[in-house]
Amino acid sequence: MDVISLQLETALLDDCTVNEIYAICKGKHTFPDFLRADLWLCCLVNNKTDVLSRLFDEIYDLENQKQLRQDCQNFIDTLGNEEVDKISVLSDLESILTFYCKHRNLKYDSNNGWIETLMPILSLKLKRTDTYNIFEAIRDTYIPKDNMKHGNVYHVFRLLILYHDPELCAVLDTCKITPEMYSMNWFQTLFASTCQLSVVLLIWDIYFQQSDPFLVFFLSLIMLVNRRDEIIAMRKEDKATIIKFLNNMPCELEADDVIDFCSLAQYYSSRTPSSFKSEMLNQLFGTQTNDACETNIVSQALCLPVSVYELIENSSESKEGAVRFFLVDCRPVDQYNAGHLATAFHLDANLMLTEPASFQTAVQGLLRAQKSAIDANASGEHLCFLGSGRIEEDSITHMIVAFFLQKSMQYVSILSGGFAAIHDYFGDGMFDCLEDHDFTRCLVCQGNGAVNRIMSRNPATSSSMQQQQQRQQAPPQHKQFDLFSKLSSVMKTKTSDVKKSLFDYIANPAHSSSGQQKPEEITEKHVSMSEKNGKRYRNLAPVFGFDEEEPSSGIGGVDTTDYTEDEAESNKDRINIQDYIRSIPDLVQSFKCQEVQINGAMFDSYLILTKKRIEVIRELDSGMGKISIKRPLSNIVKITAKKRFRDLITFKYGAHDENGENLIITDMDRFLIPNSQEATKKFNLIIEYIRNSIVKKIARNNDRV
């Protein structure tokens, strides 16, 4: 006898609980055959009363008793038991099902899976009353209610497929194959009707010690995910052929696969928002009756809903194993400016309809911001979209969610109740927990009388609220709620007056600053060798360096003015990026970056700094690239960065006018450089060195004159 079996046997002698059984097996060990019956009873049956013997009148008079008896006989005939055993099993089978129908006031149906569910239990050869108790417990605890055609269970299952594998879900939807067409037997019988008996016993061992009714959804999900490539490849096959393939997948499961199969299911369960599982648990599981099921709230759901409690509580990195979200606030900009979570990325839903090109750029910015936040351990890979909670506005939010789903984005969810749910969650602490919260413009405050309620509770709050707009420029003091204190600054790129988000700045730099400021005067004039060098470098000291508040001009794009014709022609050729970089004799450093064009398009690139020039190599494929920019360092007159997004760096080129007083910006390039501080420091040092060298040379020439 192995150690696990010995521990289980000892635990049974001590009248153990299911929690103690799990502590021994840890969901990784099945039960030994000689202990299985007792362990199942321990896991499933709390009140071991002999209900069957006490209440069953042994009268077989159901409305469809004849059909029930025939179905039992047909199933027994498929078994290889001896004739005597068959008679005993047949008697137990009909008695248990008849009493179950009477006791629960249920109507028997040939396709409800009851007979198949009983067979693994009957194989244990228990007393009839114990067999009934286990069957009833399994039905009440682990088999979803409303599991017939069009039941809630299949809508929930589809949402889980959509959440974890949207591409596979899209293929099945396109083929018009709904989950009940292939998985009804899985849910009705916990795979007893499709898997071999030896496999079913092992799956149920793991299932019962886990005590997680929702596990059947993830076991079913793994069935699909493990064969996803084959299913997708069959998309052009006949619908009936695909359904037959799907329905028979569990038949191929072997006993040796069970532990891995269940472990994968547990992993997918841990990657699913717990609030969704908790909300569905009460609706899907419990005492089986003929009463009408609760209102179906998921049949029309666009994607997985998430509760505000889980969103906020899981935002802290200290909650180990929790699903962590990247929050995307899709409300109109005026609502966002009136109050939002500091960690939210603003994606104005109206852009999708009014400015499609800017919306596409915004999406690129969102995905890059999410990646940066994940790298900084500031958020997770699960996208949660936030609307206002107002039906008339959230229709556009739903369009955005559908856009991401069509792109086969994993882990897409929507916050139940929208911003109103967040507002209500914080209650009186909203002023400390919401960024830039302005009760005079907040629609939720105005709509539910929150302001008057808070002021009436605490009159001292009145003067504080009246001064709110003056203090919004200062960082909020999180006295009671500090849920977001550890989030990286990459998630806080919004100013107190967010008129435009990052993507708008990239796509339309001419209007990215405050609407009250005029963009700087720009003369499209390239520097020529005939300009007066002596005046060109007058008053250079304040020109170089970072000016984080510098308004951006509208000039951008790739420029080849500084090229010779031969150089421009050579740029059409592909080069091996690493070989080229190693071959540069005066290389200072190279930086991985994204080149950002005036239309918002981004290209993975390498920014190369040498002692005399900068070059940009745009990545193509397989380590190959193409030179897109080459400029002398002496032409750089300003390097600027947005105060709220320091990784977006702008190089401005130009010269001073003939009087040496005014700076003429002739062109500029823009890059997203991760950890840009190191890069810009290098550029500043080398440019300062070049500038000093030129000034000294000019001074020497003037002395000779």
**Percent of residues, the chain, with pLDDT higher than 70:** 73
Q: Show the CA angle centred on residue 677, arms to residues 674 and 682, nearest 5°.
A: 110
48-78 pLDDT tens trace: 677 777 888 888 889 899 999 999 998 888 8
Distance CA 170, CA 177 (A): 10
Q: Give the pairing type, strands 345-346 and 663-672.
A: unpaired
Q: Which two tokens stand for residue 526?
A: 């390239």
Q: Show the CA angle centred on residue 609, arms to residues 607 and 613, nearest 5°.
A: 110
Packed helices 114-122 and 83-104: angle between N→C axes, nearest 10 degrees? 130
Q: What are the φ and ψ backbone dihedral angles of 493, each rounded to 5 degrees?
A: -95, 10
Residue 57 pLDDT: 80
284 burial (CB, 10 Å; 0-12 / 13-18 / 19+) is buried
Whether residue 135 is predicted with pLDDT greater than 90 in this model: the reply is yes
Neighbours of 312 (CB within 10 A): 21
Order of strands across the sheet that contains 412-415: 304-306, 412-415, 382-386, 325-329, 345-346
Whether residue 117 is predicted with pLDDT greater than 90 in this model: the reply is yes
**Strand spans (E) along 307-417:** 325-329, 345-346, 382-386, 412-415
Whether residue 180 is predicted with pLDDT greater than 90 in this model: the reply is yes
18-27, 288-297, 458-467: lowest mean pLDDT where?
Answer: 458-467
Residue 394 pLDDT: 81
Burial 449-484 (b: 16+ CB within 10 A, else e): ebbeebbeeeeeeeeebeeeeeeeeeebeeeebebb
Distance CA 131, CA 125 (A): 8
Residue 697 pLDDT: 61
Q: Which residue has the tokens 């060098």?
A: 533
Residue 520 pLDDT: 38
Distance CA 230, CA 92 (A): 42
Q: Give the DSSP per-residue string, 452-478.
A: HHHHHH-THHHHHHHTHHHHTTSPP--
Distance CA 533, CA 510 (A): 30
Q: Which residue has the tokens 């005993």?
A: 88
Distance CA 466, CA 598 (A): 42
Distance of CA 517 to the CA centre of its chain: 38
Residue 312 pLDDT: 87
Residue 493 pLDDT: 40
Distance CA 17, CA 48 (A): 14
180-189, 314-323, 509-518, 660-669: lowest mean pLDDT where?
Answer: 509-518
Residue 391 pLDDT: 74
Whether residue 413 is predicted with pLDDT greater than 90 in this model: the reply is yes
Question: 3-class DSSP state for residue 247?
Answer: helix
203-207, 407-411, 546-550: lowest mean pLDDT where?
Answer: 546-550
Mean pLDDT score, 2-30: 90
- Are the C-beta atoms of 520 and 608 separated by less than 8 Å? no
Mean pLDDT score, 530-553: 39
Distance CA 656, CA 281 (A): 71
439-470 pLDDT tens trace: 788 888 877 655 555 455 444 444 444 454 44
Question: 3-class DSSP state for residue 6?
Answer: helix
Nearest to 23 by CA among 7, 45, 47: 7
CATH of domain 533-704: 2.30.29.30
**Strand spans (E) along 17-168:** none
Give the CA count within 13 Å in the CB-facing half-sphere of 105: 4
Residue 524 pLDDT: 37
Q: Which two tokens stand for residue 181?
A: 């067409």
- Are the C-beta atoms of 193 and 116 separated by less than 8 Å? yes
Residue type, 404: F
The domains of the chain are located at 31-141, 152-284, 304-491, 533-704
Distance CA 329, CA 23 (A): 42
C-alpha pair distances (Å), 79 with each of 124, 229, 242, 351: 15, 35, 29, 64
pLDDT band at 168 (very low <50, low <70, confident <90, very high): very high
Q: Which CATH class is domain 152-284?
A: mainly alpha
Q: pLDDT: is 557 or 96 the higher one? A: 96
139-148 pLDDT tens trace: 989 999 877 7
Question: 3-class DSSP state for residue 343?
Answer: coil
Residue 537 pLDDT: 37
Mean pLDDT score, 656-675: 75
Distance CA 374, CA 488 (A): 9
Distance CA 278, CA 294 (A): 15
Packed helices 166-174 and 391-406: angle between N→C axes, nearest 10 degrees? 100
Nearest to 695 by CA among 518, 556, 577, 536: 536
434 burial (CB, 10 Å; 0-12 / 13-18 / 19+) is buried
Whether residue 412 is predicted with pLDDT greater than 90 in this model: the reply is yes
311-369 pLDDT tens trace: 988 876 556 678 999 999 999 888 888 888 888 999 988 888 888 888 899 999 999 99
Residue 315 pLDDT: 75
Nearest to 144 by CA among 188, 186, 108: 188
Neighbours of 548 (CB within 10 A): 10
Beta bridge partners of 631: 614
pLDDT band at 648 (very low <50, low <70, confident <90, very high): confident
Residue 284 pLDDT: 87
371 burial (CB, 10 Å; 0-12 / 13-18 / 19+) is middle
Q: Which two tokens stand for residue 701?
A: 């020439």
Neighbours of 308 (CB within 10 A): 21
**Which H/E stretch holds residue 632?**
strand 624-632
Give the CA count within 13 Å in the CB-facing half-sphere of 31: 30
Look over the chain and give the mean of its residue pLDDT values, rounded to a whole number. Answer: 78
Q: What is the biggest distance separating any 2 CA atoms in the chain, rounded to whole angstroms?
A: 125
- Are the C-beta atoms of 617 and 608 separated by less than 8 Å? yes
**Strand spans (E) along 293-336:** 304-306, 325-329
Whether residue 285 is predicted with pLDDT greater than 50 in this model: the reply is yes
Packed helices 3-13 and 18-25: angle between N→C axes, nearest 10 degrees? 170
C-alpha pair distances (Å), 13 with each of 35, 204, 408, 416, 585: 11, 22, 52, 47, 80
CATH architecture of 304-491: 3-Layer(aba) Sandwich (3.40)
